[in-house]
Structure 1
Amino acid sequence: MRSSVAFVIGLCAVLLAPAPTIATVSIVDLLSSSPDFTLLVRVLQRTGLIPVLNMARNITFFAPSDEVLQNLPTELDIPTLLQYMIITDPIVAENMTENEAVYFSYLRAPVAPDVPLPLKVQRVSSRQPDISDDEKVQLVIGSGAAKVVKHDWVADNGVIQVVDAMVPLPDSLCDAVAGSVINGDMHLFSQLFVMHPVICYLLQYAQDTATLIVPVDSAFDILNDVELSYLMVAEGHDDRLRFVGSHFLYSSIYRQNDTLGSGINVPSMSGAIVSVKKSERGIIVNDHIEAVQSDVVFQNGVIHTLPSFLTPWAFFEFSPRKYLFGLNATQFTNELLFHGYGSALDDTNRVQTIFAPVDATGADIPLSANALEYHFTDSLIDTLNGSTVLPSRLSLASLDGHRQHIQLTVDENAEVWVNGKSKVLRAPIRIGNTAVIPIDRALILPPSLRFAAGSVFEARMTLQIFQSLGFFDDDAMKGLTIFFPVDSAWEELGSVGKFMLSGSGSKLVKQLLCSLMLTEPVYSSDFSSGKSTEFETRAGMRVSIKSHNRKRSIEYNIGNIQSVVALESIDLLFDGGVVHTISSIPIPECIKITPRQLLHAEHITSFVGLLESSSLAQDVLADDSQYIILAPKDSALAVSNITTATVGLATQMGLHILRQRSTLDGSFLSGLSSYDSLVSGVHITVLSELSDDMYALRIVSDDALSESIHPIRVLSRGASTSGAEIYIVDRVLPLSALTGKEVPAWWQARGVLVALGASGGILAMVLIGLLWLLIIYRGGKRWGHRQSLGGNDKSFVRFRRSFSGSGRSIIIDANGSDEEEDEDDEVDGEGTPLLGRTASGRLGSRVNVEDFGDIDEDAEEVELPSRSNEHGSV
């Protein structure tokens, strides 16, 4: 049917042609004269094309030989293809003025019946030196589908060009562009084109032709990946259609059109006017864009490819809204538009940064207006160089009207996180004065103070204090900066911390913590280097703060108290402000802590009582005291048998009280200064630190012209607000330190202590060994002797012969009764101090000889029966 219709149309074209002259040799005659075209002539006869060829004038027939026809697939529509190869213009290779041109065949386009199908013919010059001049010019038709193997076989009514293949029919314009989606240099434009099938529908419906001016893929380099992605998504429909339409021209425009010499103006589908004119190699569009390839012909149109867009970058009017769609933050953007953020998303002049959660985690997209506003800042973030905090656009009542901040941190893998949970997916993308930062999930507003502080594992003690003081449930905790002491900060306070954390200091600890709360949020970025900024605390005091030596520390000045406080964790956000953890605690002037309170917190009662008995407490423990107090713990005083009845108690106590120097060269334990004790002429210096908290004290007595060295361990320490220093020590400084006994020079002190310790250890080991040998040696004899007396092991004690001056007492040696000790049984030697409990069998106990009857006073050792009470005790 198609071939019949084509034949009728072709016949009409021939009949309407100018009246022919009588041809002596026609195209059919030439074909019939050659044995190479027997099959072709037969096909022409069967399809009714012989009359067309005979009656036509000035045509060109691209004739396939019989060999070509014999090798064609049987499913091809050969009559239609033969009509496509009959051109209405004579083509002589030598006479072609252009290297390529588009001609029209007798066949009409199936998609546009009123339009003859175009066929592109190219003239190629061969550079092979061994061929004749006649063979150096070669024709190629159908964009290289067939070559002319015999040129310019001229008949009276036209020209025969013998080809080596049949030329297939071209695709329709839309099919061709759709095919370019997966191949060729038109891939990107084709993707955009096929997303608008309405264009092809209109073209087919109008049964007209068109021209596509297609930018090659490299032309899209003018767009970044976000802008290109926007053109590919559904939300980019309108811009994409305008862009494709601006490259779609009504009617077919070929390079050899006569009107292209001076140029023509053609309207595009989008309404823009496109100028086209001819150049030496192809066409030029809009006066400066020369085509990469011209005249790629199709059934109902033609394509010219360009190295750039017909439209400038500003044509797209890119905005933050379009960038958000291009980043696949569609759900977030739609929520913003629903809540009335359209103006903020379309204003490229507005300085802002948008943290945009992408759709992959759509379940996390916030719904409230507050949560959405938290994703905006009023500053432009071009780069992410490090950790910082910056204010969001969200103002909250819980912050007392201040803006909630956003925290950016960089982990060890150089990945950036927002508020510790949302990961930044790429560097900021800028459009105008707006930057967009894509994140993997929506930002969550900071939690309450209870949960924010709960993440600070090193500050458990402060958390417990906050809980006990009810700070977590205090509605007034709004718009604050809280300096949160870590556990080691309380430990560093020593006795002061123990007192404040006791029941007696609860009011003071609340006042202290309130002095560490500023009544406005202050972030690490607000700490100015070299310049102090004043703030008010929740305790009603004024403080000044500045960063210290560009390190993670600040100078925290409360009144006359100046402290350098190291910052541990910074910018922990909560719904009412920000938390910074600190490693030390500055004590404000308004908090008064006395020496007596510190000693009470350390449970030092005996020492305080002895100070009172020696009339020193009123001065030493006064609220404005500035003494250095070496306070032995109660057990140390008990071991040393220091009581109110001790002779020289005032001297003993005065040895533990040191006067502060008017000019301090360091703390007492630093050993840089010598301090005067309350004992006249006695000075004490820390000679060296032997180990952790163990120090060697040098005590110098001017009166006795002597000095002695005493090791002492500092168990705890603290300072009152008046300046008194309290050191809790593990032993009592002896009065013997005030005697005239010589001691090694100060530089030998440590060596002496070590030597004494080593010697004592060796001697103890030797004595223990000898003792065990003696017990083993005497064991057999003792057993036999006791059995002869009818007694047992527990009824005898062994004594070493060592009589007192009166000759009536002896000292118990190594062995004694194993019976239960009678706490009330004590025997004093005559005129001799009591060395230990008697009748217990302990080494060194002194007893009366008469109590055991007659003994041999010349014997080195004697073995006596014990005086046993009813319990068997001596």
Structure 2
Amino acid sequence: MKGLSYAIAGLLSCVATVQSFGEPCKDCDFTSVVDILSSSAMFSTFLRVIQRNGDIPTLNELQNFTLLAPVNTAFAGLSESESIADFDIYNYILEDRVLDTSEIVRGTSVIYEGVKFPLVLRRDESGPARINNAAIVESDLKPNFQNATVHGISELLPNPPNSQSLIHDINRESRKADIFDSFVQGFRGFEQITDNNTLLIPSDVNFFKCFNHIEINYILDPFDELSSLDGPMADAWNHDRQVFLQNLICHGIIGGQTAGRRITTNLNNQLVHVTNHNLGSSLSVNGSTPSNKANMIFNRGIAHSFSDMPFLPDAFQFTAEKYLHGMNSTDFVKELYFRKLQHIIQEKSLYENLTIFVPEFSSNEHQGFSKPNLLYHFVEDQLWLEEEFKDVNRIHSSTRTFPSAFCSSNKRLGGNCQRLRITKTESSYIINDKFKVLHAKPHVIGRTLIYTISEALQLPGEFLSSLNPFHHCSESLSLFQQVNLLNLPLNNKGYTILLPCFDSWHDYDLNFEYLRSNVTAIEHLSKSMILQTLIYSDTKTQTLEVMNMLDEKVSLSIHSADRSNQVDVELSDVAGTVKIERGLDTLFNQGVIHPLRSFYVPKEINISLKDLIETSGANYFLELLENLEDFTSMINESKPFSVLVPMSVGTGSITDRSTNLEDFLRLHLVNGSSTYSLLKCDGQISTLFGEPLICRQSSTGDYWLKLQNGDDHEVHILRRGCSSSGNKSCVFLIDRPISIRWLNRDKKRLRLPGIAIGAGVLVGSVSMLAVFLCILLVLFGKSAKRPVLRASLDEEHDNQEARSLLANNDSSRAIPNPRQEQNRRFETTYSSNASVPAIDVANSPR
């Protein structure tokens, strides 16, 4: 029997060989697949191709198969060489299956066993069945010698694209899979991982539903950072990309109605529930909406595309580290790994409050970070900037400080955390007056908030370099420099410096000059205003004891009202309440500086009015005050009076008998209750003489004084200063004396009653008649002798002004003797027993 089988096979081979040369066996009782192809002209082109490719023996040797034979029209437009090129007979063979068209049910099914690549069979209610879009135009041609069937198809079945090319083709046609296309193009080993599997393709819409742009960047690595990494950081990133892809690949070929309702697993061994719809023309997975496109074959598998796969984000969990990669801040992450700080941005960031200020990618290239500097970019709390500054008017700015994660500087800050100073302006947020926050809404991942800033933060520097030049602290700094306090020693506590800035010395420039010449006073003042602790403007109301730089214990009381822009600080060794402006904290590497808008005097420093007058150089005027006993105690004890000190005082200041020295001085003494008005150049200013002054501020900010009831003469306030007893006892240096004569002229002109005016008219008439008679006598009389009457008082005043002696500011300059400058008339009317020389107050220079 075995020999008979071999004989029959040999005979069949001979017959097939004869037929292969185009000589049909007319008298044979059996036919093969090749016989069917030879007997029909519609397969002539296909037969010629397989003859030239040497595929006839292959077809004759097969059993239990189906041949899909393209008809001649499938080759239309192709040359003979094009028809043969890349031709593979196995593209058209279903092995181990004889497929009858009656088995092709309505709908879509997939054949994936016994084929070179999956075949998708479709049958509608009308029309022929189709295999991979090729219509079956001649069906069920069966040879009687082989267990096989032949179907004539309308199209060729070329090799499908590989999985990567399929995705690229889908995106090129629809432009709806650009993200996934970019992902697979840069994924090594993608072909191997999809071999004989089902690929689920997420559309761009699906990505945008499930991820934000930062998360998409992490998946895609568009900045090509992954290629430059190695070690644990690269391993973690590659692992996430691998897991993400494996989540979209199911084991085996799943498609058409063969999918049914089944449970399979993906390459991460997670369960995937598959359901087909519309007779296999679409399917859904894990409760997704039906696929947009289904049953798309590639060379070793099948693919389906979706716009809504809700399980897409389930592949892995995002952390702050992954967000930083997605924000193109991989260099920042590298620095954290290098400094062994990567734990801050890993799983910990999901469960603990954290805020990160990360520099924009373009600013951190090739930039190194120290460990303290890296920690300064973190705040161990959630800072929702819009919430923190929600009550701030858009027109005005507001500033607050927040502790950073840099808390290890025991020597400098006593273990306290260095702070970040954040200012809300009309349009943005600024850190430490320099670094701009580029977006008000943070990126949120877990319990971590991430803000992008314009450039890497720098830790606050030394005392001098940290000050804002626009705060105008140079005068105070010059005092600190005199006593070597610009470099503070490490104290393991940190410092709070209360520093007069802005216009603090504007009302106290005489105080400044006095201090500058008194090193002991400078040292006491400066060290009293440096506290060895950290007090910020957001410190709550409390009372505590601290040490100042004099190593003295000081009682410190802080009064902080929620809606106030100022914090009141009372120091037991400083007179008055120190006003700290909220949010004006200036950070430096050893603590905080509070620029003050006022000058405060320690209680141990006593500056009298006399000290300030001496500092001004008006020694002559000081002599005048000290010659009167009432005024001596006033200037020595700094009683609540202020002094207007003229820069120059002439001997022509008193020439009228109606005035005296005491009146002159009283006109230059201001009641303490009016000193504040004088300091602010606002309101009426009362003098001890009784006549009020008024102040005018010019467009340049200068202050000018005049008598309220006098003429338009004004004096210019040049400098000022106040005694240590407070702002009710000050010295104002003016450019010239205030003359009582300015007031007298106005009185004569303005205070005449009505009766006096009438009497004046009568007296005037009589006087005119008398003058007329005198003129007649003069004309007819002898030549007149020298006149007895001297020049008028006004002429006398002008002469006296020309001869007035000035009290020079320079104490080394000799004070002139007034007696040598006075005219004889005045000398004869002035008492020879007076203890001071005569001074013409009424006729001072105008």
Q: Distance in 1 between matches of 2:444 and 2:628?
A: 80
Residue number among 179, 188, 211 corresponding to 1:223 in the alignment? 211
Amino acid at match of 1:805: P
Checking the alignment, whether the CA contact within 8 Å between 1:569 and 1:582 is kept in structure 2 is no
2:636 partner SS = coil
Residue number among 585, 604, 620 corresponding to 2:634 in the alignment? 620
Aligned counterparts, 1:340-351, within 5 A: 340-345=340-345, 346-347=347-348, 348-351=350-353
Checking the alignment, whether the CA contact within 8 Å between 1:591 and 1:721 is kept in structure 2 is yes
Q: Distance in 2 between matches of 1:54 and 1:610?
A: 139
Q: Distance in 2 between matches of 1:45 and 1:632?
A: 127
Residue number among 494, 505, 513 corresponding to 1:498 in the alignment? 513
1:575-607 Cα shifts (integer Å, max 9, x gaps)? 011223233223344432211011111111111
Residue number among 712, 717, 722 corresponding to 2:720 in the alignment? 717
1:294-314 Cα shifts (integer Å, max 9, x gaps)? 322233222233445585635
Mapped pair 1:406 → 2:420: yes
Checking the alignment, whether the CA contact within 8 Å between 1:671 and 1:686 is kept in structure 2 is no
Checking the alignment, whether the CA contact within 8 Å between 1:594 and 1:721 is kept in structure 2 is yes
Q: How many residues align?
A: 700
Q: Mark the CA change 1:238 to 1:470 in structure 2 (over 3 Å): closer, same or farther.
A: same
Q: Mark the CA change 1:642 to 1:461 in structure 2 (over 3 Å): closer, same or farther.
A: farther
Aligned counterparts, 1:135-214, within 5 A: 136-142=126-132, 144=133, 146-147=134-135, 150=137, 152=139, 163-173=153-163, 176=166, 185-193=176-184, 195-198=186-189, 200-201=191-192, 209-214=196-201
Q: Mark the CA change 1:70 to 1:81 in structure 2 (over 3 Å): closer, same or farther.
A: farther
2:505 partner SS = helix
Mapped pair 1:97 → 2:105: yes
Residue number among 430, 443, 451 corresponding to 2:444 in the alignment? 430
Amino acid at match of 2:84: D
- 1:573 paired residue number: 587
Q: Distance in 1 between matches of 2:463 and 2:86?
A: 87
1:591 partner SS = coil
- 2:643 paired residue number: 629
2:340 partner SS = coil
Deviation at 1:33, TM superposition (A): 6.8
1:631 partner SS = strand
Q: Distance in 2 between matches of 1:653 and 1:355?
A: 65
Aligned counterparts, 1:20-39, within 5 A: 37-39=43-45
Deviation at 1:336, TM superposition (A): 2.4
Deviation at 1:70, TM superposition (A): 5.3
- 2:295 paired residue number: 295
- 1:118 paired residue number: 118
- 2:252 paired residue number: 251
Q: Distance in 2 between matches of 1:741 and 1:326?
A: 83
- 1:394 paired residue number: 406
Checking the alignment, whether the CA contact within 8 Å between 1:423 and 1:440 is kept in structure 2 is yes
Structure 2's unaligned 5+ residue stretches are 1-9, 17-27, 227-233, 390-398, 753-782, 796-819, 828-846
Amino acid at match of 2:188: P
Which has more strand, going by share of residues? 1
1:280-299 Cα shifts (integer Å, max 9, x gaps)? 44444346664443322233
Amino acid at match of 2:267: M
Q: Distance in 2 between matches of 1:746 and 1:807?
A: 28
Checking the alignment, whether the CA contact within 8 Å between 2:717 and 2:735 is kept in structure 1 is yes
Aligned counterparts, 1:162-561, within 5 A: 163-173=153-163, 176=166, 185-193=176-184, 195-198=186-189, 200-201=191-192, 209-220=196-207, 221-233=209-221, 234=226, 235=234, 236-257=237-258, 260-261=259-260, 263-266=262-265, 268-276=266-274, 278-279=276-277, 280-281=279-280, 282-286=282-286, 290-309=290-309, 311=311, 313-345=313-345, 346-347=347-348, 348-357=350-359, 360-362=362-364, 365-383=367-385, 387-395=399-407, 396=409, 397-409=411-423, 414-426=427-439, 427-439=441-453, 441-453=455-467, 455-456=469-470, 458-475=472-489, 479-486=494-501, 488-501=503-516, 503-504=517-518, 506-524=519-537, 526=538, 536=546, 538=548, 540-546=553-559, 550=563, 552-558=565-571
Q: Distance in 2 between matches of 1:364 and 1:611?
A: 72
Q: Distance in 1 between matches of 2:506 and 2:413?
A: 32
Amino acid at match of 1:99: G
Deviation at 1:40, TM superposition (A): 4.3
Deviation at 1:237, TM superposition (A): 0.6
Q: Distance in 2 between matches of 1:458 and 1:807?
A: 62
- 1:788 paired residue number: none
Checking the alignment, whether the CA contact within 8 Å between 1:394 and 1:403 is kept in structure 2 is yes
Checking the alignment, whether the CA contact within 8 Å between 2:101 and 2:140 is kept in structure 1 is no
Deviation at 1:716, TM superposition (A): 3.0
- 2:601 paired residue number: 587
- 2:81 paired residue number: 74
TM-score of the two chains, using structure 1 as the length reference: 0.68
Q: Mark the CA change 1:39 to 1:537 in structure 2 (over 3 Å): closer, same or farther.
A: same
- 2:705 paired residue number: 695
2:497 partner SS = strand
Amino acid at match of 1:398: R
Q: Distance in 1 between matches of 2:436 and 2:659?
A: 75
2:473 partner SS = helix
- 2:809 paired residue number: none
Checking the alignment, whether the CA contact within 8 Å between 1:686 and 1:697 is kept in structure 2 is yes
Deviation at 1:117, TM superposition (A): 3.2
2:691 partner SS = strand
2:351 partner SS = coil
Amino acid at match of 1:169: N
Checking the alignment, whether the CA contact within 8 Å between 1:423 and 1:439 is kept in structure 2 is yes
Amino acid at match of 1:579: I
Deviation at 1:124, TM superposition (A): 4.9
Amino acid at match of 2:401: V
1:117 partner SS = coil
Q: Distance in 2 between matches of 1:99 and 1:225?
A: 39
Q: Distance in 2 between matches of 1:484 and 1:425?
A: 32
Deviation at 1:667, TM superposition (A): 4.9
Q: Mark the CA change 1:458 to 1:535 in structure 2 (over 3 Å): closer, same or farther.
A: farther
Checking the alignment, whether the CA contact within 8 Å between 2:65 and 2:93 is kept in structure 1 is no
Q: Mark the CA change 1:483 to 1:219 in structure 2 (over 3 Å): closer, same or farther.
A: same
Checking the alignment, whether the CA contact within 8 Å between 2:546 and 2:555 is kept in structure 1 is yes
Amino acid at match of 1:521: L
Q: Distance in 2 between matches of 1:263 and 1:830?
A: 129
> Percent identity of the aligned residues?
21
1:218 partner SS = helix
Q: Mark the CA change 1:693 to 1:141 in structure 2 (over 3 Å): closer, same or farther.
A: same
Checking the alignment, whether the CA contact within 8 Å between 1:366 and 1:442 is kept in structure 2 is no
Amino acid at match of 1:499: Y
Amino acid at match of 2:375: E
Aligned counterparts, 1:835-846, within 5 A: none
Q: Mark the CA change 1:803 to 1:99 in structure 2 (over 3 Å): closer, same or farther.
A: farther
Q: Distance in 2 between matches of 1:26 and 1:731?
A: 134
1:499 partner SS = helix
- 1:845 paired residue number: none
1:517-542 Cα shifts (integer Å, max 9, x gaps)? 34333334x066xx677675736544
Q: Distance in 1 between matches of 2:682 and 2:217?
A: 72
Aligned-residue RMSD, C-alpha: 4.8
Q: Mark the CA change 1:283 to 1:363 in structure 2 (over 3 Å): closer, same or farther.
A: closer
